[in-house]
Amino acid sequence: MTLELNGIGVSRGIAIGKAYHLQRRSLEAVEYCLPKYKIDDEVARFRAAVNSAKRQLRGIRDQIPEDAPSDIAAFIDTHLLMMDDAALSKAPAKLIQERRINAEWALQMQRDSLVRVFDEMDDPYLRTRKDDVDHVVNRIQRLLLDADHHEGETPEKRFKGRIIVADDLTPADTVLMQNQGIAGFITEFGGPLSHTAILARSLGIPAAVGVRNARRYLRDNEQLILDGQHGIVLADATPKIIRYYREGQSEEKRYQQELQKLKWRSAITLDGVAIKLMANIELAEDTRAVRTVGAEGVGLYRTEFIYMNRTDLPDEEEHFETYRNVLKTLRGTPITIRTLDLGSDKQVDSGRVSGPLPTNPALGLRAIRLCLRDPSLFLPQLRAILRVSALGPVRIMIPMLSSTQELFQVLQIIADLKREFRESGIKFDANIPVGGMIEVPAAAICAHIFAKHLDFFSIGTNDLIQYTLAVDRVDDTVNYLYDPLHPSVLQLIATTIKAGRKAGIPVAMCGEMAGDPRYTRLLLGMGLCEFSMHSSSLLEVKRIINNSEINALSHAVKRILRTTHHSEIASLVDRLNV
């Protein structure tokens, strides 16, 4: 009898292949004493394992797709830095020498010691960093124990065509196994916004996360069907079901080929409404993907990477050179630079302020709040953006506005800088547009007030949904409550679009919802005319736009906005997409 398990589909595509259970938590180190004459060799063995692990990670980093978010590479860089840290590179060697113990046991002792320190921390974010310690230790430990050696079988042969079943995967695991030919993966934990899920979409690997008890019910080596769009996993399927999904695979391949033909076509609805499609980027390297899919501009340039993996702050010149490089690569395409959005889930040493650690960083000193608190963090970036505006079409976007008081402070700082630039003869675009991200319910409700003072809006749905529903979007124990179709979320989006249109300012959306084709027609019907998303989603969204009629959608969406029950809303949205 066919068994069906359900999770969250995070990367579309259908995979059919045998299950491979990835046992990440089964490494058991055994302690044994060494004679004195073997100590130096054991230390050398430990160091060789660390160096091999670093080479492995560097190799993985080089294979990350250009259009993958930069924080995935930063995630791997963090693990590389940890391997260089004395706590993991030197302390175990010292334990080997002092206690005359084997390398595996010394590394295990050091791991336990570090995890105890993290467990005692008050800050929930820092407590999660113990997972990074585990990932790094596990990689070195596998090399010491030769855990990946399988007699007569290379990793490529072992993984090729298999559907990986695991509790969770790191981005490094994902890249490594994709190069070894996996067909897809299923994890018991994780959410649609996890690094691994985002990377799976960039790599085009069918994937489902949050498939509870997958390792319990799915047997090693049994044939599975994975539907990465709907999060469905089937085991022991009948020949008829297998034939159905194989036809689905063929259709998907043809569909992707058709999408490529849309690259240089405009996004215009059937009733003649032009829709602007833009891309989100994080690095200068991301701009290649922007051009490849024919995006009309960059609707969100995240600048946090400039602050990552360092302890000092970037100065004005570094900001300027970075932005100039991106602008030059885009060859005249408009770009919207978001001022830094550090804090909450994006903590870096260079942006951390002194004082006690916040107990709830998502509601604490982050984004524009942090910038206004610390001008030394904010002014160099603003000055650099103003200077680069003299070289091409640039917009400034302020994240996480929640009060007009904050907005007025920002506008005053920009006005002061402009006056200073004029007096000093520094070139800049005097009419540079200044917009705000609407990602806090307070800003959405008061959008009509913000609209009087801003040149454009961009709706950040990831945080707007998180704050509206009080759901931590990266916490997989509650992220089932994270719902873009919640009536309150839809009302806030509609309110923002309406306020922007009434004030005559452009309203864009740059959150994940903008790049999710399930919601394209819903947003068109609400009146959204600018979408900014990951480049990999743009062509599919364009296809839907080119086959939609705004007038018809507007009537249907009015009914959706009057509906209060989630199941009915979901059903009506499904009907829009038929």
Residues annotated catalytic, as ranges? 195, 510
Six token digits for residue 542: 């364009």
Nearest one of 558, 578, 574 to 566, comparing CA atoms: 574
Q: For residues 199 and 220, is the Cβ–Cβ distance under 8 A?
A: no
Q: Tell how strand 223-227 and strand 232-235 pair up.
A: antiparallel
Judge whether 193 and 473 are in contact, CB under 8 Å: yes
Query: Do 413 and 382 form a contact (C-beta atoms < 8 A)?
Result: yes
Residue 335 host element (H or E): strand 335-338
**For residue 529, which amino acid is it?**
C
Structure tokens at 178: 């994709």
- Please give the structure tokens belonging to residue 364: 């604490």
- Asked whether the beta carbons of 293 and 263 are under 8 A apart, the reply is yes
Place of tokens 């100065």: 315
Query: In 262-393, where does DSSP find H-type helix?
Result: 287-292, 316-330, 367-373, 375-388
Question: Starting at the edge strand that comes first in sequence, how are the strands of the sheet with 223-227 ordered?
Answer: 3-6, 232-235, 223-227, 14-21, 163-166, 184-187, 207-209, 8-11
Q: Are 305 and 283 in contact, with CB atoms under 8 Å apart? A: yes
DSSP string, 473-519: TT-TTTGGG--TT-HHHHHHHHHHHHHHHHHT--EEE-SGGGG-GGG
Describe the chain by its helix, strand, coil percentages, rounded to 5: 55, 15, 35
CB 17 within 8 A of CB 256: no
280: enclosing H helix or E strand? strand 276-281
Sort strands 14-21 and 8-11 into parallel, antiparallel or unpaired.
unpaired
Residues 173, 155 contacting (CB under 8 angstroms):
no
| Closest of 451, 409, 410, 169 to residue 459, by C-alpha | 451
